[in-house]
Amino acid sequence: MVTIYNLMYFTGVLGFIVGLQRLGHPATAKKGNLFAAGGMVLAILASFTTPLEGSHGNYLWIFTGLILGTIIGYRAATKVQMTEMPQLVSLFNGLGGACAVLISLIEVLMKGNEGIPVLGLISLLLTLSIGSVAFSGSLVAWAKLDGRLRDKTLVPPYPHIFNLIVLVACVGMIIFLSFDQSLLFPLLMVLMLISLVYGITFVAPIGGADMPVVISLLNSFTGLTAALAGLIYDNQLMLMGGILVGSSGIILTVLMCKAMNRSLGNVLMGAFGSSNSSTTSAGEDHRQAKELSKPDASILLAYSSSVMVVPGYGLAVAQAQRVCKDLDNELSSRGVHLSYAIHPVAGRMPGHMNVLLAEVDVPYEKLMDLDQANEALPNVDVVLVIGANDVVNPSAREDSNSPIYGMPILNVDQAGKVLVLKRSMSPGYAGVQNPLFFNDNTFMLFGDAKASLGELLAEMKTGVLV
């Protein structure tokens, strides 16, 4: 009875919905992932057991693919470093796009000579084109995040105009093919090629730091191709699941931009974040930042009663989480009350700092979110800023001309003293100078974060200060 299998698909979609719903709350997120995975298992089961007219079985082939995919996917997911997750997600997303491309190619191979009804053909062409964009775009995003691709490579001349032309070419070909199928095969290849190029030139100009946003957008594209493929096979699960991912991907993309106080358009234009624009310091600050020696700094820390650590992108770059935790242990054993302030967009992906600190088992209770931290800050003796910059930049509060104006920040300037660990005076992601560094109660400790923290720790351990 086909109904049973259709109900399995239906339940699968419910699994996706409940899963997405649960994934949105910290307390239920793990369960949500299981719900979604359960839905997928049901769907896959249904897809090869449901009665299918004209089926030739070929189960061995199917199982081969399923098993291969399971092994590779599982190994990749478990082997990789926590901080390399974004590029992995990007890679996975690219593979999903490639799968959609293959499907549409095979479909045309199998049915092309009979002539395909126009609505079906349009779906096929869109699947092929969008899938290709998702594929090549995801690969570029992956390469950028993985440090294999510098920010300025692969950027075409006049990128915005170039991309517009390529986009128009894609759309034009789809329209043409839907009227005239005589050259279907060759033109299909051309369409695929152009789409692949578009994926590359669309992502290449965007700064590496903005890749999480781009991945989320491309993910929404893959969802769309799944939905289109669902139309082709008249499969409601693919259709609905794809649309769900498509629309939630879009809104997630927008939310990510909002959290960084930027618009989606601004991100896609590569307006800042790409390294070339990163030195627009607002009118050169001529004041002098004060330095503190490592011994003095370690005394300051060891004899304060409360310390708040503000980690940022630099902590990730320096891979200083382990030594940071060691310092935490040392200070705690000396009776210093230590906590961590996690800004929502510290680092380069949402949850970046949480991942790093979880890796070295910093207990969850020591983490404070933005609001908690800002409430506690006026009573904190010393703030230790480790490779953070934009997220503690008071211009966001005070200077309405600053590009980050309006972004909620950690008000570390309200604490007793501020120690900043970074390598130089150069700015962070947003490319703006940070007036915090010139405050009376701010002291700089220049150097790589890992090295600096190591020295501080060594100072304390040598026992000069008991």
Partner 1 sequence: MITEFLSFIQENLLMLYALAFAIFLGFELISKVPTVLHTPLMSGANAISGVVIIGAITLIRLSEPDDYLVLVLGVVGVTLGMINVIGGFAVTDRMLQMFNKKK
Residues annotated as part of the active site: 390
Q: Which of 154, 259, 289, 465 binds partner 1 (CB under 8 A)?
A: 259
- Binding to partner 1 by residue 360, rule CB under 8 A? no
- Binding to partner 1 by residue 272, rule CB under 8 A? no
H or E element: which one contains 307? Answer: strand 306-311
Q: Which does 6 bind (CB under 5 to 8 A by kind): ligand NAP, partner 1, none?
A: partner 1
Spatial strand order in the sheet of 382-386: 367-368, 337-341, 306-311, 382-386, 417-422, 442-446
H or E element: which one contains 109? Answer: helix 85-111
Applying CB under 8 A, the span of 158-166, 221-229, 328-336, 375-383 interacting with partner 1 comes to: 221-229
Residues present in the chain in total? 466
Site for ligand NAP in 226-265 (CB under 6 A): 260
Q: Which of 124, 133, 194, 244 binds partner 1 (CB under 8 A)?
A: 244
Q: Which of 8, 42, 83, 103 binds partner 1 (CB under 8 A)?
A: 103
- Helix or strand or coil: residue 14? helix
- Binding to ligand NAP by residue 345, rule CB under 6 A? yes
Is the CB of 43 or the CB of 292 nearer to partner 1?
43
Taking the complex as a whole, how short is the minimal distance between the CB of residue 163 and partner 1, in angstroms?
23
Taking the complex as a whole, how short is the minimal distance between the CB of residue 390 and ligand NAP, in angstroms?
3
- Binding to partner 1 by residue 354, rule CB under 8 A? yes
Q: Helix, strand, coil shares of the chain as percentages rounded to 5?
A: 65, 5, 30
Taking the complex as a whole, how short is the minimal distance between the CB of residue 241 and ligand NAP, in angstroms?
26
Site for partner 1 in 150-209 (CB under 8 A): 178
- Binding to partner 1 by residue 368, rule CB under 8 A? no
Q: Which of 72, 165, 189, 282 binds partner 1 (CB under 8 A)?
A: 72
Please work out the total of residues on this chain that contact partner 1, with binding judged by CB under 8 A. Answer: 118
- Binding to ligand NAP by residue 272, rule CB under 6 A? no
Taking the complex as a whole, how short is the minimal distance between the CB of residue 443 and ligand NAP, in angstroms?
15
Classify each residue of 238-264 as buried b or exposed e, where b means 16 or more C-beta atoms within 10 Å of its C-beta: bbbbbbbbbebbbebbeebbeebbbee
* Spatial CA neighbour of 85 closest among 386, 356, 364: 356
Residue type, 440: D
- Please state, in angstroms and rounded to a whole number, the distance separating the CA atoms of residues 261 and 71: 40
Site for ligand NAP in 396-435 (CB under 6 A): 421-424, 426-430
- Binding to partner 1 by residue 2, rule CB under 8 A? yes
- Binding to partner 1 by residue 226, rule CB under 8 A? yes
- Helix or strand or coil: residue 422? strand
Site for ligand NAP in 375-394 (CB under 6 A): 387-391
Is the CB of 98 or the CB of 453 nearer to ligand NAP?
453
Is the CB of 332 or the CB of 426 nearer to partner 1?
332
Is the CB of 235 or the CB of 433 nearer to ligand NAP?
433
CA distances from 268 to 218, 252, 407, 427 (A): 12, 15, 19, 22
Q: Which of 100, 126, 384, 453 binds partner 1 (CB under 8 A)?
A: 100
- Kindly give, in sequence order, each residue whose CB lies less than 8 Å from that of residue 7, ignoring residues fewer than 6 positions away: none
Q: Which does 240 bind (CB under 5 to 8 A by kind): partner 1, ligand NAP, none?
A: partner 1
Taking the complex as a whole, how short is the minimal distance between the CB of residue 367 and partner 1, in angstroms?
9
* Spatial CA neighbour of 123 closest among 138, 108, 109: 108
- Please state, in angstroms and rounded to a whole number, the distance separating the CA atoms of residues 376 and 108: 63
- Please state, in angstroms and rounded to a whole number, the distance separating the CA atoms of residues 313 and 346: 6
Q: Which long-range contacts (CB under 8 A, 24 or more apart) does 454-463 make?
A: 454/323, 455/294, 456/294, 456/297, 456/298, 456/301, 456/327, 457/298, 457/323, 457/326, 457/327, 457/330, 459/294, 459/295, 459/298, 460/298, 460/301, 460/302, 460/327, 460/330, 460/331, 460/334, 461/330
Is the CB of 192 or the CB of 409 nearer to ligand NAP?
409
Structure tokens of 238? 């693919």
- Binding to partner 1 by residue 61, rule CB under 8 A? yes
Binding site for ligand NAP (CB under 6 A): 209-210, 212, 260, 312-314, 317-318, 345-350, 352, 387-391, 421-424, 426-430, 448-449
